[in-house]
């Protein structure tokens, strides 16, 4: 590991000023950044420790009814908050399906948004990668692509964003609060992450020095509390990133869907909001035929980025499963295996 400067600012403006210089990086829990530094993938010249900045570890309901989650709130703290789990069950389920209990105790909500892809070629300094070295090429193409993109990819990059947390956040219209040299601005989470295009090294919409300070869920997100779920397909049931995932949220009145939300994870470099699928569900009964049509439409533009055509069908099935589970109403308790397709729809574990 090469030498770097370490700073611990006392305020958000100080942190932003310190990070505005080239080669700087913010450090919170470091559950992703430190691994990247040890592997020589990320080589910052300056680390700005934000873990003691005041006010970023709060969960608070604002006067308009929206929920504000500070960027330093721990994943476990948020997932195990009983009011949060009741009002946003799909988000809690997504958080509890990610990583291990130890990592959830350390990882922060802001850091979750900014975690890098888990593409094996990105993590291997011996492989060429346009994210690490723009213009070098993408060695993932023609390689092992089971976990790579089927939507929004380009010839420059076929990686995916690994977050579970971001998928239901995108479905529920979460907003990211960002602090920079010019003050505070807000950005819909759906617009926060970038598709690769010709610039795969640009993974998010942050400008140099900008800091994510909070996430905000609008008051309307609570309207889906009774019918929202997250489903994650992975190589093994625990401690694994998704092959594909889906968050579904429905508002059902008198046996009819009056509003639907659907987002897919691990299919692109950002959570993939399936808006056309949402629209065709509106005004229809919550039945298997309608969910199948919606899942088909959600993946209509999907294309394999290598030997991963089967992932398209997996995504269809997981999207359909998420919709079925959401329609069945939120369970009284989260499954023993959160987000696992092996869990019973009512939340009772099928295997002990």
Share of the chain above pLDDT 90, in %: 91
Residue 8's pLDDT is what? 97
- Is the pLDDT at 347 greater than 80, yes or no? no
Give residue limits of the domains in the chain: 5-49, 223-327
Neighbours of 329 (CB within 10 A): 16
CA 210/CA 73 separation, integer angstroms: 18
Within 8 A by CB and 6+ apart from 236, the residues are none
Of the candidates 176, 191, 204, 172, which has an alpha carbon nearest to the alpha carbon of residue 91?
Answer: 172
In the chain, how many H helices and how many E strands?
A: 12, 12
- Is the pLDDT at 304 greater than 50, yes or no? yes
Q: From its phi and psi, is residue 16 left (phi > 0), alpha (psi between -120 and 50) or beta?
A: alpha
| Angstrom distances, CA of residue 307 to CA of 30, 149, 195, 235 | 33, 11, 21, 17
Looking at per-residue pLDDT, the higher value among 267 and 340 belongs to 267
Q: What is the pLDDT of residues 196-215, one digit of tens each?
A: 999 999 999 999 999 999 99
Q: How far is CA 46 from the centre of its chain?
A: 26
Residue 117's pLDDT is what? 98
Mean pLDDT across the chain, nearest whole number? 95
Considering the four listed CATH numbers 3.10.20.740, 3.40.50.300, 3.30.390.50, 3.40.190.10, the one that applies to the domain covering 223-327 is 3.30.390.50
Of the candidates 298, 299, 296, 294, which has an alpha carbon nearest to the alpha carbon of residue 283?
Answer: 294
CA 305/CA 67 separation, integer angstroms: 38
Residue 32's pLDDT is what? 97
Within 8 A by CB and 6+ apart from 251, the residues are 223, 224, 227, 257, 258, 259, 260
Q: Which of 4-18, 91-105, 146-160, 334-348 has the lowest mean pLDDT?
A: 334-348
HSE (side-chain half, CA atoms, 13 Å) at 169: 29
Residue 351's pLDDT is what? 39
Q: How far is CA 345 from the centre of its chain?
A: 23
Q: Residue 52 class from Cβ within 10 Å (0-12 exposed, 13-18 middle, 19+ buried)?
A: exposed
CA 139/CA 119 separation, integer angstroms: 10
Q: What is the CATH number of domain 5-49?
A: 3.30.43
Instruction: State in Å, rounded, how far the first CA of the chain is from the last one.
Output: 44
Q: What is the pLDDT of residues 82-133, one digit of tens each?
A: 999 999 999 999 999 999 999 999 999 999 999 999 999 999 999 999 999 9
């Amino acid at each position: 590991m090469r030498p770097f400067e370490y700073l611990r600012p006392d305020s958000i403006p100080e942190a932003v000023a310190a990070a505005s210089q080239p080669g700087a990086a913010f450090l919170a829990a470091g559950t992703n950044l430190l691994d990247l530094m040890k592997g020589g993938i990320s080589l910052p010249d300056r680390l700005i420790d934000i873990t003691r900045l005041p006010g970023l570890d709060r969960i608070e309901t604002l006067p308009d009814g929206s929920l504000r989650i500070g960027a330093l709130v721990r994943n476990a703290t948020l997932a195990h908050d009983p009011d949060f789990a009741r009002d946003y069950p799909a988000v809690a389920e997504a958080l509890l399906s990610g990583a291990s209990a130890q990592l959830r105790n350390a990882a922060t909500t802001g850091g979750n948004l900014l975690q890098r892809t888990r593409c094996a070629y990105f993590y291997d300094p011996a492989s060429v990668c346009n994210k690490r070295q723009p213009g070098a090429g993408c060695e993932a193409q023609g390689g092992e692509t089971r976990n790579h993109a089927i939507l929004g990819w380009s010839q420059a990059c076929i990686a995916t964003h690994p977050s579970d947390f971001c998928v239901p956040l995108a479905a529920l219209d979460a907003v990211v609060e960002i602090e920079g040299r010019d003050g505070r601005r807000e950005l819909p989470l759906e617009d926060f992450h970038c598709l690769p295009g010709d610039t795969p090294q640009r993974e998010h919409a942050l400008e140099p020095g900008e800091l994510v300070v909070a996430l905000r869920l609008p008051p309307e997100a609570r309207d889906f509390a009774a019918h929202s779920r997250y489903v994650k397909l992975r190589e093994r049931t625990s401690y694994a990133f998704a092959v594909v995932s889906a968050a579904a949220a429905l508002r059902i009145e008198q046996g009819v869907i009056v509003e639907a939300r659907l987002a897919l994870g691990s299919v692109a470099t950002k959570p993939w909001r399936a808006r056309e699928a949402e629209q065709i569900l509106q005004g229809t009964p919550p039945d298997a035929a309608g969910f199948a049509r919606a899942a088909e439409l959600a993946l209509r533009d999907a294309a394999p980025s290598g030997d991963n055509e089967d992932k398209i069908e997996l995504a269809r099935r997981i999207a359909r499963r998420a919709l079925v589970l959401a329609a069945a109403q939120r369970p009284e308790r989260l499954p023993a295996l959160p987000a696992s397709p092996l869990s019973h729809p009512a939340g009772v574990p099928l295997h002990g």
